[in-house]
Amino acid sequence: MVKVKSKRGIKIFIGVLAAVAVVLVCAAFWVAKHYVYNSVVGERAMVYVHRQWSAAQLDSALSEVLDAPRSVARVERLLSLLDFDAAEREGAYRVEPGMSAWQVALKLARGGQTPVRVTFNNVRTIDQLAGRIAEQLCFSKDDLLALLQNDSVCADLGFTQATLPALFLPDTYEFYWTVTPEEFLQKMKREYRRYWMGQREEQAQAWGLTPVEVATLASIVEEETNKPDEMGTVAGLYMNRLRKGMPLQADPTVKFACGDFSLRRILKAHLAIESPYNTYRVTGLPPGPIRIASKQALDAVLNHRPNDYIYMCAREDFSGYHNFAVTWSEHQRNAARYQRELNRRGIR
């Protein structure tokens, strides 16, 4: 009887072990399926994690990029097991289609940030630039402006506040989302040096200009015309005036001096404004760029073909193009046609 009971006990024990093993295997399969293999991401997206975030805020961010509430819950369970701390893992993380809960959680827990593409173009002022950049990176507009308006910071970058717009070259750049304002400016300085190294610097010297002066002239050219095929002609005209010691008499500089780029008609009162930027009253280039010049405008100055033009006036068809003139009398005829059209349209 003892042997029979013993054999029966062994069978029961083995059966229990087998049942436990089956349960464990099934559990492991379920965990692997739902946490390791099943996709929780439907399409490519970015998850932005802020250091001050609460669990609820992280939940909300994950809900925007994961395919279902249960997927969010699974990722959060894994993050808890991985001791994820938003304060230590602030950043931007790209999730790709097909990623599992485990892959998403591991990416965040390891701090595997994805660089973000930061673009700025068609920017007039430093204030606008700071706002545009802050919209795309973690730091605030005020944090960046505090540096841009600091004379010592500008000097360390090799500029003054007046010439600082020349530092920035409109384009698309890659940064980590958590880059500091200081790191952002240092990268802009490296990009500036890279842009001007070699041929462009030689071209500027050939025209008797420094890179900052090229940027200053390019900013005026770009405000005068938005027609790429006309920029070189406008640049050549202003170079002629500089060589002759004539005032540039560029309307955009008057608008800058007035602080109003929306002016559609420049009047005598505007021309009388006392400002180093009013090129009707001072000769030579203004103290610095009147906007952040595009690379297209910079290259138009560097590569312009010499011409004999001294005067220009907007075309009366309001096409955005200009009539150019060599003589004052020719310019007067062009200007009269434009003034008549302004009056006809009631533009004051």
d(CA 10, CA 26) in angstroms, rounded, equals 24
Q: What is the pLDDT of residue 7?
A: 66
* Per-residue confidence band for 16, with pLDDT thresholds at 50, 70 and 90: low
Residue 245 lies in a domain: yes
Same domain, 270 and 287: yes
One-letter identity of residue 219: S
Residue 303 lies in a domain: yes
State phi, psi for 8 to the nearest 5 degrees: -65, -40
Residue 139 lies in a domain: yes
Q: What is the pLDDT of residue 111?
A: 84
The tally of domains found in the chain comes to 3
**118 or 54: which leads in pLDDT:** 118
One-letter identity of residue 96: E
Residue 102 structural domain: 40-114
Q: Which of 59, 82, 114 is the last residue in one of the domains?
A: 114
Q: What is the pLDDT of residue 62?
A: 84
What digits encode the pLDDT tens for the residues 57-102? 888 888 887 877 887 888 888 888 888 787 788 989 888 888 888 8
d(CA 41, CA 326) in angstroms, rounded, equals 65
Q: Which of 96, 114, 132 is the last residue in one of the domains?
A: 114
Residue 30 has pLDDT above 60, yes or no: no
d(CA 217, CA 309) in angstroms, rounded, equals 16
Same domain, 219 and 252: yes
Burial grade of 237 (CB within 10 A; 0-12, 13-18, 19 or more): buried
Give me the residue label for tokens 């096409």. 319
* Per-residue confidence band for 38, with pLDDT thresholds at 50, 70 and 90: low
Q: What is the pLDDT of residue 34?
A: 44
Same domain, 177 and 99: no
What digits encode the pLDDT tens for the residues 225-282? 999 999 999 999 999 999 999 999 999 999 999 998 888 888 888 888 999 999 999 9
Same domain, 235 and 288: yes
Average pLDDT over residues 3-21: 60
CB-based contact 140:134 (threshold 8 Å): yes
Residue 206 lies in a domain: no
Residue 183 lies in a domain: yes
What digits encode the pLDDT tens for the residues 106-116? 888 888 889 99
What digits encode the pLDDT tens for the residues 131-180? 999 999 999 999 999 999 999 999 999 999 999 999 999 999 999 999 99
Alpha carbon distance, N-terminus to C-terminus of the chain: 118
Torsion of CA 261, 125, 173, 63, to 10 degrees: -90
Residue 31 has pLDDT above 70, yes or no: no
What digits encode the pLDDT tens for the residues 271-314? 889 999 999 999 999 999 999 999 999 999 999 999 999 999 99
Q: Which of 114, 138, 159 is the last residue in one of the domains?
A: 114
Residue 41 has pLDDT above 80, yes or no: no
Same domain, 129 and 90: no
